[in-house]
Chain A
Amino acid sequence: MLALQILIDGFAISSLYALGAAGFALMFGVSGVLNLSHGAIMVVAAVIAWWVGATFGVNPYLGAVAGILAALACAFFTYGVIARPIQNSPAIPKEEKEIFVLTGTLLWGIMLQGAIAYLFTNNPKTVRPLIEGVVMILGVRTPVNEILTAVLSWLVIGLLFLLVNRTRAGKSLLAASMNPRGLTLLGFELSNIYILVWAIYGIVAGIAGVLLGAFLGVSSDNAGTLTASAFSIVVLGGLGSVSGSLMAAYVVGYLETLTAYLVAPSIRTVPVLLLLVIVVYVRPQGLLGRR
């Protein structure tokens, strides 16, 4: 009974982690940007979805769309105002671009977090789920929303996979992650590819944010934790490896759920942190990463 409960809850939370980390991993793989405003962008999506739903009383689908659009806008802003100017700046030495992008996106994340806390307070907010109600799965009471979260997460991840591997635009993304200079020589405009990857990233992060808001509820104080968990999952799986991140998301999701149910909810993140330290020491390239 408890085992089944852990299995179901763990699956739902892991799927959501996988979705959240997929966008983060894709972004790093293609454009080399570790976006530390990731968590804040997810929070923006959730809070806007909640606000539109609660204020205008529209159906939850419209709220969700508004949330995703807000995340998309934030993603474009991150690219246009922070990532691109830093990467193109002649005043910043090449080997320091990384730390500048990290610091810049970190500050931007804090700004988003501060703005959300100012406009909507930092109380936790729960987005109205798309489908309400509960069902029994082999005797375990499961909210329909929890199933929907897992299904939608996998649907989006599947679409992302098809897009990257089966379409021309997606293949150019893959190529950019392997050899940007080679791609430019073949006549592709690199900045178009970056715009595409930020658009995909914004939509994926927005969906993940809205689902998270409906599943667990979100407060502006969560932004840092969300970024840290996406960062850990991606490093655990291997930077730049999307399939590694998906696997790592399940390891992290189940480890947290197991700890929360069997030991104590207050230390749910501790085993993950330990695992992370061990993996980084023993196998720095992550589970499926290549050097």
Chain B
Amino acid sequence: MIRSRTFQLVVPALLVLALLPFGVGGYILGLLIPAFYMAVFAMSWDLLFGFAGEVNFGPSFLIGIGAYTAALLNHYYATPIPLCLAAGAFAAVIAGVVLAVPALRLTGPYFGLVTLVAVLMLQNILVLFAGITGGEIGLDLPDVLAISDTTNYYYALVFMTISGAILFGLSRSPVGLILQASGQNAVEAAALGFNVAKHKLAAFCISAFFSGLAGAMLIFYMGTVSVGTVVDIAVGVNVIIAAVLGGRRTIIGAAFGAIFLIGAGELLRPLGQLSTFVVSAVALVVILFFPGGFMGRLLQTGGRE
């Protein structure tokens, strides 16, 4: 395990990140905190796409359900944060099951469209019931995770590390292998005696759990929830770009992709409108020339793990 390349890459990177608050100011930390939550979104998406083979165009459906459940509970009933987080994660798991039902019957573009429609529906509902949900403007939350940047940073970093470890461990476990088999050839996997439906359902629930929990934590960091930050299609697109950019089927790569994407977006901010253009162009070049993504590239040079 010590000698595996993933391990050699991840541990130093985490050490640097853990020591970062001693060296840099609030600006960098404030940039990295949402990036860490985004990393969890991307890693959960990778479990569903890279392993279960389900093209989910609507990661923000799961994220949004988790975030809004937590936000509504906190805003209207002043529920304590841990309870809100649990409720958000639970609601997201239910949403994951709702999404899994069509996934077991439909394939490829059809399922992709259903997930896209799910996001659009959620967005419409939130805007229609603007009186309760705050609509486009959003809802402010009475509670926040912590005031200090450093504390928030460690919350996010620890959360990302634990989620990443669980997702990564899962993907390398026998369950991950069965998922991968069902994603690539469901009929053959079923013929080998594996319960494809059960494993895919589990993948949806796990992916939804982490997406929803991360979404709920993100809004308690920001102190506000709005359609534009957790539900919009653009949020989902960014998650997908991050995961593909970092290297699909690597889990850890998705986290690198997310941090890169947010960092690059910030560096290019002076370009204004053009920054999305440049970031997408970079992502496009990576997909065209290194389809394995950053991680795929790094792992490949040292041979297979």
> In the complex, A153→B284 CA distance in Å?
33
* Nearest B residue (CB) for A121: B273
Is there contact, CB below 8 Å, between A118 and B274? yes
The CA of A86 and the CA of B290, in the complex, are separated in Å by 11
A85 adjacent to chain B (CB < 8 Å): yes
Whether the Cβ atoms of A280 and B120 lie closer than 8 Å is no
B287 adjacent to A110 (CB under 8 Å): no
Please, what's the 1-or-0 string for B36-78, where 1 marks a CB less than 8 Å from any CB in chain A? Answer: 0000000000000100010100000000000000000000000
Contact residues on B (Cβ < 8 Å of other chain), bracket: 35 or more
Interface string of A31-67 (1 = CB under 8 A from B): 0001000000000000000000000000000000000
Contacts of B234 in A (CB 8 A): 224
A266 within 8 A of B: yes
Cβ A103 vs Cβ B240 within 8 A: yes
Judge whether B110 and A235 touch: CB under 8 Å.
Answer: yes
Contact A102 B241 (CB under 8 A): no
A269–B127 Cα distance when bound, in Å, is 13
**Please, what's the 1-or-0 string for A182-218, where 1 marks a CB less than 8 Å from any CB in chain B?**
0000000000000000000000000000000000000
Q: How far, in angstroms, from A91 to B110 measured CA to CA in the complex?
A: 26
Determine if B277 and A85 form an interchain contact, defined as CB atoms under 8 angstroms apart: no
In angstroms, Cα B277 to Cα A33, docked, is 23
Contacts of A114 in B (CB 8 A): 273-277, 280
Which has the most chain A C-beta neighbours within 10 Å: B112, B117, B292? B117
Residue numbers in B under 8 Å from A134 (CB-CB): none
Asked whether any CB of chain B lies closer than 8 Å to the CB of A162, the reply is no
Q: Does A273 contact B (CB under 8 A)?
A: yes
Check: B6 CB closer than 8 A to any chain A CB: no
- Chain B hits for A86, CB < 8 A: 287-288
Output the least CB separation between A114 and chain B (Å).
Answer: 4
A111 and B128 in contact, given A102-B112, A106-B237 (Cβ under 8 angstroms): no
Question: Chain A: residues with CB nearer than 8 A to chain B?
Answer: 34, 81-82, 85-86, 89, 91-92, 95, 98-100, 102-104, 106-108, 110-111, 113-115, 117-118, 122, 224, 228, 231-232, 235, 239, 266-267, 269-270, 273-274, 276-277, 280-281, 284
